[in-house]
């Protein structure tokens, strides 16, 4: 779930607030920042979570643990060089394999 401050700043980028222990009842508003209701903050949190979850496939494609990742840029450039030189499709095949393993919803 998105934290309270991130939701507040998504609603009002100029908001100056602190939050203690992720508690809606412990939000301190500074410098005349307009107060945002708990309900509006929670609605924004839900909206941000949906947006975050919708991009899970992107995070999966870019994992650094070696599973389902795109090849490094240097490896991709090398593949492209050899594909052009040799008439192969190594780069395209490598990229498509990652996209197939982690499809866009």
In this predicted model, what pLDDT tens digit does every residue of 64-88 receive, in sequence order?
A: 665 668 888 889 999 999 999 999 9
* pTM, entire model: 0.66
Nearest CA to 11 out of 44, 39, 42, 37 is that of 44
The per-residue pLDDT for 14 is 96
Nearest CA to 11 out of 59, 56, 29 is that of 29
The per-residue pLDDT for 105 is 83
The residue that leads in pLDDT, 92 or 58, is: 92
The per-residue pLDDT for 69 is 82
Any idea where the domains of the chain sit in the sequence? 4-54, 58-101
The per-residue pLDDT for 76 is 93
Report how many helices (DSSP H) and strands (DSSP E) the chain contains, helices first: 5, 2
């Amino acid at each position: 779930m998105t934290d309270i401050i991130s939701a507040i700043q998504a609603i009002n980028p100029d908001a100056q607030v602190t939050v203690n222990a992720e508690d809606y009842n412990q939000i301190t508003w500074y410098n005349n920042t307009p107060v945002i209701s708990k309900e509006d903050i929670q609605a924004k949190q839900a909206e941000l979570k949906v947006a975050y979850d919708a991009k899970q496939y992107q995070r999966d494609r870019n994992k650094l643990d070696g599973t389902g990742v795109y090849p490094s840029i240097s490896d991709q450039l090398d593949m492209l060089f050899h594909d052009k030189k040799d008439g192969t499709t190594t780069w395209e095949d490598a990229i498509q394999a990652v996209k197939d393993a982690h499809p866009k919803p």
